[in-house]
Amino acid sequence: MNEAELAVLVRAASFAAMRHRDQRRKDEAASPYINHPLALADVLVNEGGIADIETIVAALLHDTIEDTETTAAEIENAFGAVVRMIVEEVTDDMSLTRAVRKQLQVERAPRLSTQARAVKLADKICNLRDVIDGPPAGWPIERCREYFDWAKEVIDGLRGEHERLEALFDHVYHRRP
Ligand code: ZN
């Protein structure tokens, strides 16, 4: 990684931290939200062997449009059109119901770009690990199981491009509660 790439990476982490600063995860400890995008970047680089800078930057930013006031245009201005496209590919439309959003993730998985597939894999790996480590407050075991099965349905639609990440996903899926 060169100096310019390192600069953009740190800028993206800082941008995400600012945008998510008032948010918490749904676990019982209500962890700071930024732990989640950082965990994705960690999985991609240190477990998945991903070295593509745009993928890692997009992972850091992947929930900013969905969960904060951040716009796609802002992402493009600050991080370029490729990063914007990856983030948009993995962004749910929060004006739709949860059921429709979940169905759309399944339907869209086969059409995701290679870079968006990596981010989606890391997102599902981290979310399943979080459910195992400490399910969101109030989730009965049935809901945890449904969540695992839905995540697998999404991932089954995008296999074939990221062998290591897919193996990491399968590994965590096998710990289904
Ligand atoms: Zn996420």
The predicted-structure confidence for 85-95, as pLDDT tens digits, reads as follows 999 999 999 99
Give 169 Cα–ligand 1 centroid separation in angstroms.
15
Distance 1 CA to ligand 1 centre (A): 25
- Percent residues over pLDDT 70 in the chain: 100
Cα 123 to ligand 1 centroid, rounded to whole Å: 5
Residue 30: which pLDDT band, with cuts at 50, 70 and 90?
Answer: confident
What DSSP assignment string belongs to the chain? --HHHHHHHHHHHHHHHHHTTT-B-SSTT--BTTHHHHHHHHIIIIIT----HHHHHHHHHTTHHHHSS--HHHHHHHH-HHHHHHHHHT---TTS-HHHHHHHHHHHGGG--HHHHHHHHHHHHHHHHHHHHSPPTT--HHHHHHHHHHHHHHHHTT-SS-HHHHHHHHHHHTT--
pLDDT of residue 127: 97
pLDDT at 134 over 90: no
Taking only the tens place, the pLDDT of each residue in 56-76 is 999 999 999 999 999 999 999
- 137: pLDDT strictly greater than 90: no
Mean pLDDT, residues 39-59 taken together: 98
Which pLDDT band holds residue 145 (cuts at 50, 70, 90)?
very high
Whole-structure pTM over 0.85, yes or no? yes
Instruction: With cut-offs at 50, 70 and 90, classify the pLDDT of residue 135.
Output: confident
Q: What is the mean pLDDT of residues 112-135?
A: 96
pLDDT at residue 51, as a whole number: 96
Task: Identify the band that residue 98 occupies on the pLDDT scale cut at 50, 70 and 90.
Answer: very high
**Looking at the predicted structure, is the pLDDT value of residue 96 above 90?**
yes
CA 36–ligand 1 middle distance (angstroms): 7
Catalytic sites, residue numbers: 66-67
Quote the ligand 1 centre to 98 CA distance (angstroms). 15
Domains of the chain (ranges, CATH numbers): 3-173 (1.10.3210.10)
State mean pLDDT over 22-41. Answer: 92
pLDDT band at 1 (very low <50, low <70, confident <90, very high): confident
